[in-house]
Amino acid sequence: MSTRYQVVNPYQGEVIGEYGYTSAEAALAAIATLKAGQRMAKAMVAHERADVLRKLAGLLERHGETLARLITAETGKTISDARVELSRAVNTTIASAEEARQIHGEALDSDAYAPSRGRIGLVCWRPLGTVLCITPFNFPLNIAMHKIGPAFAAGNCILFKPGPANTASARLLTELCYQAGIPQDVLQLCIPSLPDMAAIIGHPDIDAINFTGGTAAADAIAAAAGYKKLLLELGGNDPLILMPDGDVDAAVEAAINQRFATAGQRCTAAKRVFLHRDVHAAFRERLLARTRQLVVGDPSLEETFVGPVIHADAAAAVMAGIEQAVAAGASLLCGGKREGNVILPTILDQVTDQCALMTEELFGPVIPLAVFDSLTELIARINNTPYGLQAGVFTQDLRVIRQLFEALDVGSLMANDGPGFRAEHFPFGGVKGSGVGREGVKYAIREMSIQKTLVL
């Protein structure tokens, strides 16, 4: 395998950077640095960590436009979408600063059960040590801060491993972390080749792994990790549901924003749209009308809503999913064409549950429509997938919301919104093949900590 790699602009096809992978020797040196830095990390008290994160939030704002344009060049994300990500990353950093001051345990009375022993148990949260934080290409800044922020707030050292496509933005983020006051002995950037990753994951001085990405990579991480704490945020095949009493226009907007934005490359994207038969036609026509208004193409332009997918292989996979659905009888209502790495926003009707668009996680601007008649039927169809991240339902009936909340195999259900909703301080994560553990700043801090009990 080559020791160097290139970063290619997904829209223009131009090489915008060439870098060397972190060597195995350099990665081991970084791990050793962090092991030694654990004393320094633990010595920083809560208010000091909070102040550093607050300063980092300010630096992210100050360098926001530079970071946003780097993200657009590296990933093809539209500039408007990149700016939204930047603002969310600032919020995540601020939330991490505030939660650093709020890490607290509890006191337990031993006399709750006989015999009386007159002792008190003080339960505290303490850092794990060194956390390997692995981030994907699609939200290179905000997902990074969902890992770095809580890990640092908890008092851990951090080995930051971004996707190679995000090298320039990751380097700038790391430099801003240092400027804010995170010591280099506490945070190290590392982009090794895939063959070297197994040794890093299994290294005894890596105490936990916080990963966002695909299930195949997660399987490899779990196999190599051994007895380490794992926080795995994986894929989704998230449904958007429209009931007969739901707001059709709001559902259309949610589908547009949560499937076509970021060119559909989101784990929480509305990847399956289930329409009650009574509202199927109305939703379909309004969705088509709105889709035809979208500006597609150059992600660096302010008006562009749909840019390219990350690379040619990703574009080919999306087109294969579209073609399979059409071959299985789906109606192609719009799109279905590729221009370089840009997939035109695509809507397919009457997509069968057996199509890859409905059973697999496909990263692309494609909305498959399916019709249902009853909740019982709908629940079984939605749950018939290896994923279980989030779901959204549009209805005014609280009984329906409660029934879906209890019956669907998902981590979160959004009422009168699509499945793509996320707030930085809410718990985030799924069930089944969608992951293990929860992010969301407060919850991620606990995932990256250990409980210790002092008995007095």
- Residues annotated as catalytic are 233
Q: What stretches of 243-324 adopt beta strand conformation (E)?
A: 272-276
**Euclidean distance between CA atoms 430 and 411, whole angstroms:** 4
How much of the chain is in helix, strand and coil states, percent to nearest 5?
45, 20, 35
Q: Are 212 and 389 in contact (CB under 8 A)?
A: no
Residue 93 neighbours by CB distance under 10 Å = 32
Note the helical H segments in 135-279: 142-153, 167-180, 194-202, 215-225, 248-255
Strand partners, 369: 273
Number of other CB atoms surrounding residue 8 within 10 Å = 20
DSSP for 48-83 reads: HHHHHHHHHHHHHHHTHHHHHHHHHHHH---HHHHH
Exposure class string for 321-338: b at 16+ Cβ within 10 A, else e: bbeebeeeebeebebbeb
Q: Where are the beta strands (DSSP E) in 373-448?
A: 390-394, 412-415, 435-436
Amino acid (one-letter) located at 257: N
Backbone angles phi, psi at 408, to 5 degrees: -80, 140
Helix (H, G, I), strand (E, B) or coil at 114: coil
* Cβ neighbours, 10 Å, residue 59: 17
Q: What residue type is 201 in one-letter code?
A: I
Query: DSSP letter string over 324-352?
Result: HHHHTT-EEEE---EETTEEPPEEEES--
CA dist list (Å): 202 to 136, 159, 227:
20, 13, 9
